[in-house]
Amino acid sequence: MRLKIRNTKLLKLMKSFQTGLITGLVMWVVAGLWHNLIVPSFYAKETGANHEGICLMLLSYMILALFMTYLYPFYCRGRSTLLIGFRFGMIIGVLWVFPHELLMAGAHGDSLSYVFKNGAWHAIEQGIGGVVLGLIHARKIGE
């Protein structure tokens, strides 16, 4: 009996890890499309950033997604919809980026307009991650 409980916990942990990896990969791809294909000149002009640390960026998105995967059940409280996932992701996006960008604006004189534009983008980017998380989590609730 005890072995079965441990296996259930391990299985749940593995599913959560898999959910985090899928969510992180989706956010990383969305970020790559946005930063490198859709508006690369905006970031080059505003910050001089060229986003070359692809592997480090992937790792950071995976870590963020694993945190999101852990926190999401507390936020959705047993119900999961696309809108709940998107709102959750938007909150995470603002919490993840906005305070740091505001600090950099104060410390280094970065543009405040950039801070707000980048914060808005990350609300959308992590909102998309929240939708993925919500879809996967809704399937778990239905099982």
pLDDT tens profile 56-67: 989 999 999 999
Distance (Å, rounded) from C-alpha 83 to C-alpha 73? 14
Q: Which residue has the higher pLDDT, 46 or 78?
A: 78
Question: How far is CA 142 from each of CA 13, 40, 43, 138, rounded to the nearest angstrom?
Answer: 18, 41, 42, 6
Q: Which residue has the higher pLDDT, 101 or 1?
A: 101
Residue numbers of the domain that contains 15: 2-142
Domain count within the chain: 1
Mean pLDDT over the full length of the chain: 86
The distance from CA 143 to its chain's CA centroid, rounded to whole angstroms, is: 25
Q: What is the DSSP string of the chain?
A: -HHHHHHHHHHHHHHHHHHHHHHHHHHHHHHHIIIIIISHHHHHHHT------HHHHHHHHHHHHHHHHHHHHHHHTT---HHHHHHHHHHHHHHHHHHHHHHHHHHH---HHHHHHHHHHHHHHHHHHHHHHHHHHHHHHH-
pLDDT tens column, 84-128: 999 999 999 999 999 999 998 899 887 888 889 889 999 999 999
Mean pLDDT, to the nearest integer, of 7-18?
A: 85
pLDDT of residue 77: 85
Give the pLDDT band of residue 39 (cuts 50, 70, 90).
confident
pLDDT of residue 48: 63
Q: Which residue has the higher pLDDT, 5 or 47?
A: 47
pLDDT of residue 139: 77
pLDDT of residue 78: 79
Give the pLDDT band of residue 5 (cuts 50, 70, 90).
low
User: What is the pTM for the complete model shown?
Assistant: 0.84
Q: How many residues does the chain have?
A: 143
